[in-house]
Amino acid sequence: MSLPCGIRNYSYNTDMAIIRTRTQWVLFILFLLFLYTMPLYLPRFGLDVMNLMGITIVSIVGLNILVGYCGQLSIGHAGFMAVGAYTTAILGSSLGLPFLVCLILSGFSAGLVGLLFGMPSLRVKGFYLAITTIAAQFIIIWIINHWTDVTHGSMGISVAPAGIGPYQFDSEASQFYLIMSVAGLSILFATNLARSRIGRAFIAVRDNDLAAEVMGINVFSYKLLAFFLGCFFAGIAGSLFAQWRGNITSEDFTFGQSILYIGILIIGGLGTAIGPILGVVFIRLLEQFVMFLSPMIERIFSGLPSGFATGLSPLVFGLAMIVFLVFEPRGLAHRWQLFKASYRMWPFSY
């Protein structure tokens, strides 16, 4: 663990703490203040974008455990989110279970489905494993579309706003507090997991599963555990998505979303605690940027050929991703580390 110049640890507890210096505490509290006062000054749309970011962070935290730490490539994450979303919708709407129960059960149901599709990891890895997770995506969506007595097929299911006791999270602001709190807990869990015995076993499996097995790590168990945990978070994210949206259909959980999630993780930085957050913030804000770009360009340059401005958004989005990966292939987390290092050494950068 790197520390600022002139700081050293005097106990095991301080060595293990995530936040270790007074400056870090001040910055952390200021960040929390900034975050939790956002509903006071952000418009409805801004809060909604933040809510979407929070949900995506929870999902990517799970994917990071699976792909980033344990090295098990999964391209069916949106499918696992769908399991969580439908669990919340069905248990909440049909059985009337409270939201918190639905939230936890959504995580478990997605985790169990993840276990099922993680079984092939005993035999296959890399791209071959990726194919089985793609199959998971399509099988899950197929079941949702055809098990119409339960899922209502293409009609979708309405989901009542989340509630704890008499309190309903039915506004953008109240949803913001719920989603950000769950996102914060997810990040904390994943950060601690990575530093634990389990996390180190994940990393060993990722780096060389043969060597890990020789060291006494039960590779198959840890791979399955990674699938369970990764999909558990996908289920939690799906549950939050369902109550945020208010209704869900299978069309909300596409293969394209699964690909996007992998892209977010790569851009953020695989196998780092901060990577999922930075990746989600970058991609979601870039999406907003390109969304505003087309109308603005059409307004400023009225003589452009038909369809030029409207077609520009995906071009800019794709270009930004390519340029980013060329200049920073190790992800935003690496850039963040460089920034912190230069800050610690400042003004003596050499």
Partner 1 sequence: MRRSKVTLCLAVLLVAALAMSVLPSCNPATPPAGEKVIKLGLSVPFTGAAAEKGAPIGQGQLDAFKYINDELGGVEGYKIEPVWYDTAYDSAKATTIVKKLMDDGCAFFTVVSSKDMNASKEAANRAAFPGMVCFSSPSLTHPPMHIYAQLPDYGDDWAAFARYYLQNIWKGEGKPKMALMLLNNSTGYGVRDAARAAADELGIEIVAVEEHTATTISETDALTRIKDKSPDVIFISSTPAPTAVILKNAYDLKMTPGTTVGCAHASFTKALIDLAGKDVTQGIYGVYPTVNWGDNVPGMAKMMEYCDTRHPEYAGNNDYLIGWASSLINAETLRQAIKVSGGDSLMKGDAAAWALAEKNGFMNVKNYDVEGLHGPVDFSNPVDKRGSKSVKIFQVQDGKMVSQTGWVDAPNILYENFDWFGK
Positions in the binding site for partner 1 (CB under 8 A) = 42-46, 48-49, 52, 93, 145, 148-149, 152-158, 170, 172, 244-247, 249, 251-252, 256, 281-282, 285-289, 291-292, 294-296, 298-299, 302, 306-307, 310-311, 313-314, 320, 324, 327-328, 332, 335, 338-339
CB of 154 to partner 1, least distance (A): 3
CB of 332 to partner 1, least distance (A): 8
Helices 22-36 and 172-195, axial angle in degrees (round to 10): 150
- By C-beta, is 104 or 316 nearer to partner 1? 316
- By C-beta, is 7 or 49 nearer to partner 1? 49
- By C-beta, is 11 or 306 nearer to partner 1? 306
Range list of H helices, the chain? 12-16, 22-36, 38-41, 44-63, 77-93, 99-118, 127-146, 148-151, 172-195, 197-207, 209-214, 219-245, 255-268, 275-300, 308-327, 332-345
- The single-letter DSSP state of residue 168 is E
Tokens, residue 319: 């270009």
* Residue 35 identity (one-letter amino acid): L
Tokens, residue 209: 């599963």
CB of 160 to partner 1, least distance (A): 10
CB of 159 to partner 1, least distance (A): 8
Q: What gap in Å lies between CA 278 and CA 248, rounded to an integer?
A: 27
- By C-beta, is 53 or 265 nearer to partner 1? 53
CB of 156 to partner 1, least distance (A): 5
- By C-beta, is 19 or 296 nearer to partner 1? 296
